[in-house]
Structure 1
Amino acid sequence: MSTTTTDIALAPGTWAIDPTHTEVGFVTRHLMVSKVRGSFREVSGTVEVAEDITKSVVDVTAQIASVDTGNADRDTHLKSGDFFDAEQFPTMTFRSTAFDGETLTGDLTIKDVTKSVTFDVDFGGVGQDPWGNTKAGFEATATVNRKDWGLTWNAAVEGGGVLVSDKISLTIDVQLAKQA
Structure 2
Amino acid sequence: MSQFDAPTIAIDNIAGDYTLDTAHSRLGFVARHAMVTKVRGQFGAFEGTATIDTETPANSKVDLTIDVTSVDTGNEDRNGHVKSGDFFDTETYPSIRFVSTDVKRDGDDWAITGDLTIKDVTKSVTIDFEQTGSAVDPFGNTRVGFEGETTVNRKDFGLTWNAALETGGVLVSDKVKLEFDISAIKSV
TM-score (norm. length: structure 2): 0.89
Equivalent pairs, count: 173
* CA–CA separation in structure 2 for the residues paired with 1:11 and 1:148: 34
Q: Separation in 1 of the partners of 2:33 and 2:161? A: 13
Report the equivalent of 1:69: 73
Q: Provide the identity percentage.
A: 53
Structure 2 contact 15–51 (Cα < 8 Å) conserved: no
Q: 2:20 aligns with which of 17, 21, 28?
A: 17
Q: 3-state SS of the aligned residue for 2:79?
A: helix
Counterpart secondary structure, 1:73: helix
Secondary structure of residue in 1 paired with 2:123: strand
**Secondary structure in 1 matching 2:124:** strand
Q: Deviations over 1:48-104 (max 9, x none)?
A: 223523311001111000000100000000000000000100000101111111311
For structure 1, the residue ranges without an aligned partner over 5 or more in a row are: 1-7
8 Å contact from structure 1 (residues 23, 43) kept in 2: no
Between 76-85 and 43-52, report the one with greater CA deviation: 43-52
CA deviation after TM superposition for structure 1 residue 11, in Å: 2.9
2:134 is the alignment partner of 1:126: yes
SS of the aligned residue for 1:74 comes to: helix
- Matched with 2:46 is 43
Which amino acid is 2:139 matched to?
Answer: W
Alpha-carbon distance in 1 for matches of 2:119, 2:103: 25
**1:117 CA drift (Å):** 0.5
Superposed, 1:1-180 pairs within 5 Å as 9-12=13-16, 14-50=17-53, 52-101=56-105, 102-180=110-188
The one-letter amino acid paired with 2:172 is: V
- Where 1:100 maps in the other structure, the secondary structure is strand
Distance 2:186 2:71 in 1: 27
TM-score, normalisation: structure 1: 0.92
SS of the counterpart of 2:116? Answer: strand
What's the secondary structure of 1:54's corresponding residue? Answer: helix
RMSD over aligned CA atoms reads 1.4
* Cα distance in 1, alignment partners of residues 90 and 29 from structure 2: 17
